[in-house]
Amino acid sequence: MKNPLLVLLFLTGLTVSMKGQGFEVEPEPAAMHLTRVYHNIVALDDGRVLVVGGHTQGFQLTSTAEIYDPETDSWELHQTPHPHDNSGFAKLPDGRYMFFGGFGGASGTSRTNTTTIYDPTDDSFTSGPTMIHARALNNAVALSDGRILLVGSWFVSGEDGESEVYDPSTETFTPVGIPYYNRSHTPVFPTDDGGALLVSGYNQGATVKYYNVVEFNGIDHTFTEVQESIFDDGQQWFTQWSPNFRDVNEYRMSDGRFAILTYREYDWSNREYAIGLIDPVTKTIEKLELQTEIPNYTGSMFSWATQFNPVVDAENDLMYLFSTRTSDDMFQVRLITVNLQTGEVDIPEGSHSFGYIFSLSSNVWTNNKIFATGGSIAGNNFNLSDLCQSIIPTSTVSVEELNAFMPALYPNPVRQGGTLFLDSGDNAIRQWQVFDNSGRLVIEGDMNGTTGQTALSIAGLSPGMYLLHLHHSRGIGSAKFVVE
């Protein structure tokens, strides 16, 4: 159902100006065919948006997906072979997407071991191989070698909570054991050596918070605790993942690192927020030094709570944080912007109401804006929304310094089979890596402190867009290039 005010603005060609809230709202996009919450959302390479599963009105499962076309402002409804409510998903090396498990009954009951594969070339949805274990509230992440690591489930014990690895080349699942504890809601980030870092999360019933960092070894399939807390400061910092949070690569910065939102509770109701930067090369987590602290949540009805559905603009290294106020039944929303390179923070004074619990929407960064879908009308799983929002951030934080240390890259585009040159000036390049659009490492090499002009062989790369990731004497940098 459309918001009447936004319909009027659409007919008059106006945009709602809400700069005091940290964003502007474009005329409301077409509503989805179904109300949804806790569905997966994907920004497709061609600019369209895919939503899969979740549950719909009355906490009922739905074996459907929808694809939004911004050119026509319309949704196309598709049937899927299985429901995927609160499920994990990942992008396969060939560009398809795979969705894993989810709840098997209404009202969040039971779990499934079924998978669905979506092919964006023909918009088809087909049944995939069956997982070893049924799981819901699980996470899935593409490792640097193209395999998929599955972690977590809901209300399981013993071997039912073990992780597994899916190999797309053989279409088989391999059990890899318990990730130190049985877990749910666990963020998982791929490392460049073929492994992954599991950061914080809950136990299988969300009654206990885990603060540690666990490393998954992609070679021998072992899990090892490497840190007792997210940051090396002795404090119990916590973070979590949710099925409506998007693919983990949506949190990747321009230099290849990942950005996460964390908090610590310093008494029964007070929360202090911090941002962590995860380096997939060194496998370390740095606490970003903020120029202005993100406001604490105090538990008061007038206090603002920062929600765990951040959006990252990788091109400009900006993180957008939705903040809601409980005194307004969580209807009031403002958008905090953080510069992930400088630590500058923009905190708006105003707020805006969408008329429903916007923090439970599934959001994605696409076409230089935040596209939000669905959510809850009143904060429960039964009365849901089919509305969508197109949000343009209006932050004043500076992005001028973001490319200051990047070497020049030419020719760009470069012909397939050709040679790519970079000029690093007096910056000593130690290592270079190339990632494809799915975040998979495809080429890497050592340069042992080389300065000036250097030739990089990119033979074997297929046409497409790639990210060059450099470790140099002034830090970490990256640049995009195109193979024609």
Residue 219: inside a domain: yes
Which pLDDT does position 362 carry in this prediction?
Answer: 94
* Whether residue 6 has pLDDT greater than 90: no
Residues 389 and 412 in one domain: no
Q: Are residues 338 and 417 in the same domain?
A: no
**CA 32, 82, 133, 173 torsion-angle sign:** negative
Of 169-173, 362-366, 372-376, 419-423, least confident by mean pLDDT is 419-423
Q: Tens of pLDDT along 27-38?
A: 999 999 999 999
Question: Do 375 and 467 lie in a common domain?
Answer: no
Report cis status (omega within 30 of 0) of the bond before 411.
yes
In a domain, 402, yes or no: no
Residue predicted with more confidence, 380 or 76: 76
Residue 7 has pLDDT above 60, yes or no: no
The answer on 448 and 387 residing in a single domain is no
In this predicted structure, the answer to whether residue 437 has a pLDDT above a threshold of 90 is no
| Domain co-membership, 307 together with 433 | no
DSSP 223-254: EEEEESSSSTTS---B----TTS--GGGGB-T
**Half-sphere exposure at residue 353, Cβ-oriented, CA atoms within 13 angstroms:** 11
Task: Please give the pLDDT value at position 236.
Answer: 94
Assign 429 a pLDDT band (cuts: 50, 70, 90): confident
Query: Are 138 and 199 in a shared domain?
Result: yes
Average pLDDT of the chain to the nearest whole number: 87
The residue-averaged pLDDT of 3-20 equals: 38
- Determine, yes or no, domain membership for 143: yes
Tell me the average pLDDT across 377-400: 84
Separation between Cα atoms, residue 36 and residue 51, nearest integer Å: 9
State what percent of residues in the chain have pLDDT above 90: 62
Q: Is the pLDDT of residue 61 over 50?
A: yes
For residue 60, is pLDDT > 90?
Answer: yes
Q: Which two tokens stand for residue 447?
A: 């340069």
Q: What pLDDT, on the 0 to 100 scale, is given for residue 453?
A: 81
Query: What is the average per-residue pLDDT within 295-314?
Result: 87
Instruction: Return the CATH number at 429.
Output: 2.60.40.10
Q: Does the structure show a pLDDT above 80 at 96? A: yes
C-alpha 436/C-alpha 118 separation (Å) is 19
> The domain that contains 200 carries what CATH number?
2.120.10.80
Q: Is the peptide bond before 295 cis (omega within 30 degrees of 0)?
A: no
Tens of pLDDT along 130-170? 999 999 999 999 999 999 999 999 988 888 899 999 999 99
Strand-pair partners of 320: 311, 337
Domain final position from 393, 422, 456: 393
Stretch 81-92: mean pLDDT: 96
In 3-state terms, what secondary structure has residue 362? Answer: strand
Total domains, the chain = 2
Kindly calculate the radius of gyration of the chain based on its CA atoms and give it in whole angstroms. Answer: 22
Statement to judge: residues 240 and 293 lie in one domain: yes
Q: In terms of pLDDT, which residue wins out, 380 or 387?
A: 387
Residue 477: per-residue pLDDT: 67
The domain boundary, picked from 330, 361, 393, lies at 393
Given a cut of 90, whether residue 465 has pLDDT beyond it is: no
Report whether 483 contacts 466 (CB < 8 A): yes
Residues 436 and 287 in one domain: no
Letter for the amino acid at 365?
W
Q: Which of 393, 426, 460 is the endpoint of a domain?
A: 393
Residues 438 and 328 in one domain: no
Q: Is residue 399 part of a domain?
A: no
**Is residue 304, in this structure, part of any structural domain at all?**
yes
pLDDT beyond 70 at 323: yes
CA–CA separation, 265 and 133 (whole Å): 34
Model pTM above 0.75: yes
Enter the tokens of residue 208.
């206990």
Instruction: Indicate whether 294 and 205 sit together in one domain.
Output: yes
What pLDDT was estimated at residue 18? 38
User: Do 238 and 382 share a domain, yes or no?
Assistant: yes
**Residue 451 included in any domain:** yes
Is pLDDT at 270 greater than 70 in this prediction? Answer: yes
Quote the percentage of the chain above a pLDDT of 70: 89
**Average pLDDT, integer, range 411-436:** 82
Query: Do 47 and 366 contact (CB within 8 A), yes or no?
Result: yes
Q: Provide CB contacts within 8 A for 35, sequence distance 6+.
A: 56, 57, 374, 384, 385, 386
Residue numbers of the domain that contains 425: 408-483
What pLDDT sits at residue 325? 80
- Is 401 contained in some domain? no
Are residues 349 and 447 located together in one domain of the fold? no
Asked whether residue 400 is domain-assigned, the answer is no
